[in-house]
A and B are shown apart, each in its own frame.
Chain A
Amino acid sequence: MTAPTATTTAVSSGGAGAWATGRRLLRLLRPFTWRMIAAVAATCAFVALNVSAPKLLGDATDVVVEGVFGGTFNEQKLGALLLVVAVMYLGASAFSWVQGAVTATAVQRVSYRLRAAVEDKLARLPSAHFDEQRRGDVLSRATNDVDNISQALNQLLNQLILSVLMLLGSLSMMLWLSPILAVIALVTVPFSTVVTVLVARKSQAHFSEQWSTTGELNAHLEEYITGHEVLKAFGRQGLATETFTNSNDRLFRTSARAQYVSGAVQPLLVFVSNLNYIAVAVVGALQVIAGAMTIGGVQAFIQFSRLFSQPIGQIGGMVTLIQSCIASAERVFALLDAAEIPADASALPADGAGQHATADTRTSGAVAAGGRVVFDAVTFGYGGGSPVVRDVSFTAEPGQTVAIVGHTGAGKTTMVNLLMRFYELDSGRITIDGTDITERSRDELRSMIGMVLQDAWVFTGSIRENIEYGRPGASEAEVLAAAEATLVDHFVRSLPDGYATVLGNDGDTLSQGQRQLITIARAHLAGRSILVLDEATSSVDTRTEVQIRQAMQRLRHGRTSFVIAHRLSTVRDADLILVMDHGRIVEQGNHHQLLSAKGHYSRLYDAQFAGGEESLRAAESGL
């Protein structure tokens, strides 16, 4: 993602990478082969009509001339000829329209597929990817880059065919008129090519940088706007402005350069063709004096050589358009090529659509019995770094509640991440009902587990949709029951639009606690056989928590549950308590066993729980 290295590789590997990207871009058009053939055919017809119509118009002029010199003005013949010309022009326009429409349709479908591919890819990227890459940059690839590709492709496909046809047409006309002068005209081709290649070498790097800087700027903006309250609170808008201004300046410099360098192609090619024009005029004139050619021949030739150089100029201009397009395509493809979650071991291929379809049907399935979860010598470290979970082994029997306690950062949430297979183990194994979790597809595994995370995620949509997310297609009554059990109903009733209230903007119309309640309702409705609650109620007030406690207990009943919480009650009632310290399980057992062991847990218990409770009781006795 670092701009400088990307730039240097773009320069050094120059052609090769760009060609590969270009070919890949063309492959995207393959499904539209027939349409493209139709577009080429329409263009040919357009060019043919457009070139021959003036010839007939000339014939019409001759009829007029005949009238002047011959004395007989054949008005009918003139009318008939002009009618044919008019029809030809109408036809030319119709073909031009067909070509434009066919191309536009193909290009828009390609853009659709590119965006869909990006979205599909996001679903298959490992969680670690999101830790490394900034959101705004990914978004820029899906919007700005795809938009750029689409605009460039549209212009390219429309003009390239036309320019090539014009080039071939005028070249054959010149060869027919005078082979010698045609050779002079052809001399411009290598010159033009050299000029274009020289410029293109320079501009490629600028285009790459332009689009990567656009991504960077997008990332800054997304991040600063998301966190704007923090910046305001600390009066540090200046800091953000400084970083932003730096990127903005770089974007200015790089896009001005890209624009300037690529814009130079056309004038330079015009210069080459002007020199050629001058050469033709001078050589032609000398030829006339030598008696080798007529004035009319030279005149006609000049006209065709201009016709010839015009498309060369256009094609040169298009080369830079192609580069900009390829720079964007490289960014989109880089995202699409990012390492994916390793394929599932099960029969299901890691192919987007197929997997989705099967997974969704399974989601609505009833609660499966069982849920014996075994961690066997599990070790894991983020990004292959030092382990945050070391050699962890324990067994959770079906229906048991397992509490994970320990200091913040002891590796509690990581255990959840591993069970959910958001990350893959470095060593050891986790089994559910005897089956290694890697032997199931991830979706199958996750369909067994209901999860509530501390960061309550709600999406743009109604409250009802947000709850129903846990079990698509749930009936109104089921959603309502889940909402009532988790006290969501309580505050939703006071909202003017009730369950239809749309949550926007990361759900900031609700309080953090209310968002947490919604995510609990979501898991409640989902009703999976294994439950994971990671600080699920940290921002919910205790009166509300007491009221949803029964619901939570009911929810845990008969399900294997993993609970990370500070609340004593949850921990005390757990069938198995895992005491974690620096990634290791230092003790395990139930509350009484661990207390009587007088070890880690009892110290933790005294320090963590008893303190608060005692002061409460002391306060109460002070009544």
Chain B
Amino acid sequence: MLRGMMMRLLAAHKPAVLAIVVLQFVQTTANLFLPTLNASVIDDGIVKGNTDLILRLGGWMAAIAAVQVAAALAAGYFSANVAMKLGRQLRQELFAKVQSLSSQEVGTFGVTSLVTRATNDVQQIQALAVLVFTMLVAAPAMGIGGIVLALNQDVVLSGIVVAIVPVLVLIMYVIVRRLVPLYRQGQVLIDRISRVLREQIIGANVIRAFVRQAHEARRFAVVNRELTRNNLQSALMVAGMLPLIMIVVNLSSVAVVWFGGHRIQAGDMQLGSLTAFIAYILQILIAIMMAMYVLMTAPRAAVCAERIQAVLDTSPAIADPPISRAGLPPGRRTPGGTVEFRDVTFAYPGAEAPVLEGISFTASPGTTTAIIGSTGSGKSTLLNLLPRFLDATSGDILIGGHNVRSLPLHFLRDSLSLVPQRAYLFSGTVAGNLRIAAPHASDADLLRALRAAQAEDFVRELPHGLHSAVSQGGTNFSGGQRQRLCIARALLRDAPVYLFDDSLSALDYATDARLRQALAPLTRRSTVIIVAERIATILDAGLILVLDQGRLVAQGTHTELMRTSTVYQEIAASQLALGGRL
């Protein structure tokens, strides 16, 4: 997984990788060359008493040192550049992918986990890339060089070298195999740490109101302890790796002296070879230790690669249809906004009972269709099927005569303007939030939309008007203000279909009434579908759908329903009761 990902990402940087290899080769060679020149200083300079030669050789050595530092610096530059580019690309890919995922798919991963994957997990892979580039040439060169030189000295004694390599490989294998599950768990725990903290930030007021800080601290401590234990376990394992390898290599040098000593006694080996041999074993040890730095980072990076790949491999259940634009109406959105549901059923995967069952109705342009029903009866779900936040399990949904599944997503969603139930605003300014719906809208357009949404007054009263700051989620506005800003945002888009998901709940009746009045001329040619709790809000709707436990139990106008639908009558009665009349 990790290797595949690295290969795929590095393919785009072949020249840079090649440059790194060459530069590292140059700098390693230069470094090895200095002692050789030093040897000539002794052999040719000192022995012959040639002061000139000593100075000349000194000059050469300085030149080589300069080449070496230049090559090392250049290699460092390319390494940093390529490694960080890999990170940038992974983050970009992740972000693009996340944007194509449905809410359910985002939910399976969890918001914080996706965020962790794009930052922390990517960092681990970057770190590994930097190390690989640094050790890429040096470690294998030194290791292989050491082995070759050892073989050159004495083939029989080299058996020891041949024997320690598998032992070292085994040690690494055993440790890495145990590290991988630990690291996997560790990244999940980082997700959980973020999740608990995120919930604590979002729910800060509720936690304080119920004085549950201590409980929250305990909830956090549980995860924190688990993460600490996990990190400690992996750190201890990594800490154990180095001493184990040192033992093997050091004991092998002891073995070299023992067996070498006997071979020398037997006259099978030269005395000088023994000292050389120990030096080579040390060189192999250093190479292995360098490789170890890479190997210590590799398991965590591998786990991270796995987690990133899992996101990248998710094929969004809701995607553009695989057809061309052929058969599509011209323009960016559907010309007509007739919305038709044909025997639509929706069930969450694995759920026993469907949320919606056998829903059929038609909503025509220029009319308002209202959906009413008890809490949890599937009203919002029904609305979410239109922009394909969810896909119907069976049945067809048509908009302007086209099946929503046959339309490219951007085309479909451009044809809709939605006010979501959760009035979510982004951090930034009021104007910035409104322009999400219409990037090129002028300030005058914004004010017009705000006026219709009954939001102009309070926005004008803000210290910086349209350019006043909005905090994340819009928490610096009251619930009713947020809803109206979201309505204004939706109104900025001249769409064939408007969807209001329980968007007037936080408004008082007067504002609600004024808003609906202002809405009428703006949405005259459009299809309006509105989820509401209050009958007063939907009194003039051309069509009212009454949902009960996922079924469409009645549809018609208010007057018709008051005559025919017991559920609707109950709803009406309940509102009069709440109004204090019945």
Contact = CB atoms under 8 A, between A and B. Distances in A.
B393 interface: no
A511 B244 contact: no
B536 A612 contact: yes
A543 B508 CA distance: 19
Interface in B399-441: 409-410, 413-414, 416-418, 420-422, 424, 426-427, 436-437, 439
Nearest to B212: A469
B387 A541 contact: no
Interface in B512-565: 512-513, 533-536, 539, 558-559, 562-563
A86 interface: yes
B533 A540 contact: yes
B209 A90 contact: no
A contact face: mostly helix, strand, loop, or mixed? helix
A422 B208 contact: yes
A357 B98 contact: no
B510 A604 contact: yes
Contacts of A541: 372-375, 377, 533, 571
B195 A512 contact: no
A619 B80 contact: no
Given A119-B220, A135-B198, A512-B422, A248 B34 contact: no
A572 interface: yes
Interface residues of B, number: 187
B41 A446 contact: no
Interface in A98-141: 100-101, 103-105, 107-109, 111-112, 115-116, 118-120, 122-123, 125, 127, 130-132, 134-136, 138-140
Contacts of B107: 504-505, 508
Nearest to A259: B80
A125 to B, nearest CB: 8
Given A286-B54, A543-B374, A616 B536 contact: yes
B254 A57 contact: yes
Contacts of A450: 209
Nearest to B220: A119
B533 A539 contact: yes
A28 to B, nearest CB: 14
Contacts of A542: 533-535, 571, 574-575, 578
A281 B34 CA distance: 10
A104 B84 contact: no
Contact of B506 (A217, A422, A538, A545): A538
A359 B214 contact: yes
Contacts of A409: 458, 477-478, 480-481
Contacts of B278: 57
B479 A267 contact: no
Interface stretch (B66-74, B169-177, B337-345): B66-74
Nearest to B231: A108
Given A359-B211, A407-B508, A139 B254 contact: no
B505 interface: yes
A282 B42 CA distance: 10
A572 B66 CA distance: 89
A623 B213 contact: no
A89 B246 contact: yes
Contacts of B58: 278, 281-282
B544 to A, nearest CB: 12
Contacts of A130: 201, 204, 471, 475
Given A57-B257, A228-B99, A446 B210 contact: yes
Contacts of A504: 107, 110
A161 interface: no
Contact of B224 (A119, A248, A619): A119
A347 interface: no
Nearest to A591: B580
A572 B103 CA distance: 42
A447 B578 contact: no
A512 B191 CA distance: 25
B69 to A, nearest CB: 4
B572 interface: yes
A454 interface: yes
Contacts of B410: 235
A188 B73 CA distance: 20
Contacts of A169: none
Given A123-B207, A264-B73, A455-B479, A73 B265 contact: yes
Interface stretch (A11-19, A237-245, A371-379, A430-438): A237-245
Interface string B79-116: 11101110110011001101101010011001110111
A96 B575 CA distance: 77
Given A131-B471, A278-B58, A360-B211, A616 B69 contact: no
A221 B261 contact: no
Contacts of B581: 613, 617
B298 to A, nearest CB: 15
B69 A268 contact: yes
Nearest to A222: B115
Interface in A237-282: 237, 239-241, 244-245, 248-249, 251-252, 255-257, 259-260, 263-264, 266-268, 270-271, 274-275, 277-278, 281-282
A27 interface: no
Interface stretch (B2-10, B43-51, B139-147, B360-368): B43-51
Given A229-B420, A248-B91, A496-B352, A78 B261 contact: yes
Contacts of B427: 134, 223
B577 interface: yes
A64 B190 contact: no
Contact of A127 (B204, B422, B477): B204
A156 to B, nearest CB: 13
Interface in B112-171: 112, 114-116, 118-120, 123, 126, 130, 134
A131 B201 CA distance: 10
A217 B130 CA distance: 21
Chain A interface bracket (under 10, 10 to 19, 20 to 34, 35 or more):
35 or more
Given A135-B198, A615-B539, A79 B258 contact: yes
B293 to A, nearest CB: 10
B466 interface: no
Interface stretch (A390-398, A476-484, A561-569): A561-569
B72 A150 contact: no
Nearest to B118: A221
Given A89-B251, A140-B119, A270-B72, A622 B559 contact: yes
B510 A611 contact: yes
A86 B210 contact: no
A108 B232 contact: yes
A363 B213 CA distance: 11
The winner among A107, A226, A544 for most chain B CB atoms within 10 A is A226
Contacts of A227: 424, 426
Given A140-B119, A281-B61, A617-B576, A64 B533 contact: no
B574 A139 contact: no
A519 B375 CA distance: 14
A12 to B, nearest CB: 25
Contact of B46 (A68, A295, A407): A295
Interface string A602-618: 00100111011101110
A553 interface: no
Interface string A430-465: 000000000000110011011101110101100000
Contacts of B103: 228-229, 508
B328 interface: no
Given A105-B232, A223-B426, A514-B375, A229 B198 contact: no
Given A136-B115, A459-B199, A472-B212, 15 more contacts: A222-B198, A228-B98, A241-B96, A241-B99, A251-B91, A357-B214, A362-B211, A408-B508, A459-B203, A491-B375, A505-B107, A512-B422, A538-B533, A544-B375, A609-B579
16 contacts: A63-B261, A108-B231, A127-B205, A139-B194, A230-B424, A234-B437, A244-B92, A256-B84, A511-B375, A539-B421, A541-B377, A541-B571, A542-B571, A604-B510, A619-B539, A619-B572
The 9 closest A-B pairs by CB, nearest first: A100-B239, A408-B480, A356-B214, A513-B375, A612-B536, A267-B72, A104-B235, A93-B243, A259-B80
